Structure 1
Amino acid sequence: MAERYDVVMIGAGIGGASLAANLGTGVSVAILEAEAFPGYHTSGRSAAFYSESYGGPVVQPLTTASLPYFISAEKETGEAWLGTERGALYVGQAHQREALHQMRALYPALEMEVIGPEQVAERAPMLRPEWRAGGLWEPRVRDINTATMHQAFLRTAKRNGGVLKTGWRVTSLRREQDGWTISSGSEEIHARVIVNAAGAWADELAQLAGIAPIGLVPMRRTLVVLRVPQAEYRADAPLVLDVDGSFYFKPDAGTYWVSPHDETPSVPCDVQPEELDVAIALDRLEQATTLTISRPERSWAGLRTFAPDRAPIYGFEPTAPGFFWCAGQGGFGMQTAPAAGVLCASLIHGEPLPGALLEAGVDAEAYSPARFRATAGK
């Protein structure tokens, strides 16, 4: 006889884990993970940072709403989900000064400041003179302790009675009168609600359920770890980003983490870094800084999955009762996870959003999958 749950999460990455943790004790929950351990793909490969401007104005309310949860989690558990404030410095050459002002205008309520060449040089002295033409300073940016947060969500879900099943690859989804039957070979689980938290595989999972895909696109992002001479390393350096998105770098434990900010469409897979992308990352760093470029210590890649409008997808599928989307988090899934988990849990329970989310400007309709369904409002 099939095991029965109120809610079954398909995917144990940060999306599924944060939602499972927020469903509470009054609902039976199972989390199904195809891999041998949770977070094997994108969630386990994130170089995440908390930045209210990262992801665009539609994502910003979720990021802003997440900060109180980040802070309260540390007070309650003694585990720091966030590092100390390092700040982010968006930089540009002379022809990019206007882009800095345009970016500032997108976020009138955020603590951000356009600064001049001297202030840029003070914060990031490794930048070449041509990259000090101007900067946009965002002081509240911090690193995210991704593994700590992810594991904390999974522990909370387990403490609430949730069950994690690894190595459980979904092979079929069948709609029943009272919910869904989920199969993996000869094993079956029944759920009143299924949550599509399958990351890069979310559209494939929807099709398995007979639901039209949304048009999600997994995109490869490359990270390179470079060790420089000790005299060149600055542990207190900010996260430095090209305002036009061609690179970013930040210090970490005696090294710099560098990305060419690539977004290369990919099929869902266990993605690996391409030699060309690693070379591009190092070349862009060399062009922008005076850092000594040597053979990188290591590199890796992850898939960031975007919806066509680059906003996340949270909510019930209007064409299939009991099918809930938790997908399309792009590169901002970690920084929005606390608020996104609360948002999704409220939607599943049919409850109003908490005041903390509403005060931050979170609008559930902005993330609803109904925006992709022409028949949803008819």
Structure 2
Amino acid sequence: MQVDVVIIGGGIAGASAAAFLSEHGRVALLEREAHFGYHSSGRTAAQFTVGIGAATMRRMAQASRRFLENPPPGFAEHPILTPRGCLTVADVGQEAALDRLRGHLESAGARADHLDRAGALALFPALVADKVAAGINEPDAMDIDVNGLLQGYLRQARRNGAALVNGAGVEAVRREAGRWVVSWPGGAASAPLLLNAAGAWVDPVTRLAGLAPLGIVPYRRTAFTFATPAGLDTATWPHVGNVGYQWYVKPEAGCLMGSLSEAVATEPGDAHPEDIDVAQAIYNIEQDTTFRIARPLSQWAGLRSFAADRNPVAGTRADAPGFFWLAGQGGCGILTSPAMGQAIAAIMTGGAWPDDLARAGVAPDDLSPMRPTLRAAA
């Protein structure tokens, strides 16, 4: 198969890139699993927020809001975003961390309501009063329909003539006569441009191509669901977590989701939850809320991949002609996917820089794998 761009990785990053790149040429999107979005993209808290510590990542979220609120006609059958809100609470002595969060939110143009104990309890009544001194509420945080968003990107790519290939576990990547040739059992594709959007496998794919890796590290995070206590209607409660990132809880349809908010460095693979992490999450949640969790209804783990400076990567290097990366979204890949997809499309085609990114203060150099902060951190 000969195309203009080969994309390795069919998660949300690769799918968004395929949607925007396919407007400019022939694209082949390769996914080794039987389904697109199988790994990290299918194991997310599905929250839109701009309360992100890493500055460029936060601005990419800001630049994605308009697309997520108003996707193009025919992109999705239902709204991608629905109201939820995000409450972060702090105990005495943690006020400085709340102030930093408020600054992050306001720098991205978001509302950041400072709440006292009574205000926090009014939003999330299951909090233990003497464990909450104050809170910051982001009322415009939203739930994301992750499957609707993923399918919208794939639909847009198909409509533009992209080839979407499942079961394409890449075995070799080589440079040949000015083209990148990618092969997998039973197939091959070649193109002058290759995009590595393989998530936790970004560095292994880079090594397959004979290039020096970026230093992208996957981190495991565990989550589970548990029954809503009898008599509680949590449908309108916000996502809530403590400012020390020791736990969070999010209302789901018919249940609640909880997490330890841990980040455990691991090898790329099909992540599985550790019983000790689930137990610790339950303990932490029970210390700060009135919830008593007899047993999880379900549990899972996903991988969050970070660059050394915790900001995303989109671009190429001088030593990698025609080879591009879309990587290091650090658990924010869903909510930043519109801006990341548009950014890499502009970078790879030499097109105009998207207005939403420019307004958010993001330039191509901020995403480059050659940026000084990434090289220094590595």
Instruction: Give how far 1:375 is off.
Output: 9.4
In 2, distance between residues paired with 1:92 and 1:27?
Answer: 50
Amino acid at match of 2:8: I
Query: Are 1:82 and 1:142, in contact at CA under 8 Å, matched by a contact in 2?
Result: no
Query: Per the alignment, in what secondary structure is the counterpart of residue 65 of structure 1?
Result: helix
- Higher deviation after alignment, 230-239 or 37-46: 230-239
1:230 CA displacement: 2.6
Distance 2:184 2:151 in 1: 25
Return the offset for 1:101: 1.4
Q: Distance in 2 between matches of 1:47 and 1:12?
A: 19
Residue 357 of structure 2: aligned partner: 357
Report whether the alignment pairs 1:156 with 2:161. Answer: no
**Equivalent residue in structure 2 for 1:41, among 39, 42, 45:** 39
TM-score in terms of structure 2 length = 0.95
Matches within 5 A, 1:3-152: 3-73=1-71, 76-77=74-75, 79-109=77-107, 110-152=110-152
Q: Please state how far the C-alpha of 1:114 moved relative to its aligned partner.
A: 1.8
Q: Which moved more, 1:67-76 or 1:226-235?
A: 67-76
Q: Which residue of 1 aligns with 2:264?
A: 264
What root-mean-square deviation, in Å, do the aligned CA atoms of Structure 1 and Structure 2 show? 1.8
Residue type at the aligned position of 1:30:
A
Q: Residues 172 and 210 (structure 1 numbering): CA distance in 2 closer, same or farther, change over 3 Å?
A: same
**Amino acid corresponding to residue 361 of structure 2 in structure 1:** G
The count of residues paired between Structure 1 and Structure 2 equals: 374
Alignment correspondent of 1:335 = 335
The question of whether the paired residues in 1 share the 8 Å contact of 2:89 and 2:132 is answered with: yes
State the shift of 1:74 in Å: 6.8
Q: Aligned partners of 1:120 and 1:47: how far apart in 2?
A: 21
Decide which moves more: 149-158 or 352-361: 352-361
Matches within 5 A, 1:208-219: 208-219=208-219
TM superposition shift of 1:133:
0.4
SS in 1 for 2:70: helix
Alpha-carbon spacing, 1:111–1:75, altered in 2? closer, same or farther (3 Å): farther
Taking the aligned partners of 2:165 and 2:53, their CA distance within structure 1 comes to: 32
Where 1:257 maps in the other structure, the secondary structure is strand
Distance 1:276 1:375 in 2: 35
Q: Secondary structure at the match of 1:329?
A: coil
Whether the 8 Å CA contact 2:307–2:374 is kept in 1: the answer is no
Query: What does residue 313 of structure 2 align with?
Result: 313
- What pairs up with 1:198-213 in 2 under 5 angstroms? 198-213=198-213
Contact 2:31/2:165 (8 A) holds in 1: yes
- Give the drift of 1:185: 4.0
For residue 174 of structure 2, what is the aligned residue in structure 1? 174
The verdict on how the C-alpha distance between 1:24 and 1:269 changes in structure 2, with shifts beyond 3 A counting, is: closer
- The residue identity in structure 1 corresponding to 2:332 is F
How far does residue 118 in structure 1 lie from its aligned partner after superposition?
A: 1.2
Moved more, 285-294 or 195-204: 285-294
2:282 aligned partner: 282
Structure 1 residues 125, 75: closer, same or farther in 2, change over 3 A?
A: farther
CA displacement, residues 238-291 of structure 1 (integer Å, 9 cap, x when unaligned): 110111211111111121100000101110111110000110111111001001
Structure 1 unpaired stretches of 5+: none
The 1-side partners of 2:137 and 2:375 are apart by 44
Partners in 1 of 2:375 and 2:74 — Cα distance? 45
Q: For the structure 1 residues 201 and 118, does the alpha-carbon distance in structure 2 shift closer, same or farther, using more than 3 Å as the test? A: same
Find the aligned partners of 2:359 and 2:186 in 1 and give their Cα distance: 47
Mapped to 1, the partners of 2:268 and 2:123 lie a distance apart of 39
For residues 374 and 300 of structure 1, what CA distance do their matches in structure 2 show?
31
| Alpha-carbon separation, structure 1, partners of 2:260 and 2:335 | 20
Report the alpha carbon displacement of residue 233 of structure 1 after superposing the two structures with TM: 4.0
In structure 2, C-alpha distance between the alignment counterparts of 1:246 and 1:301, rounded to whole Å: 16
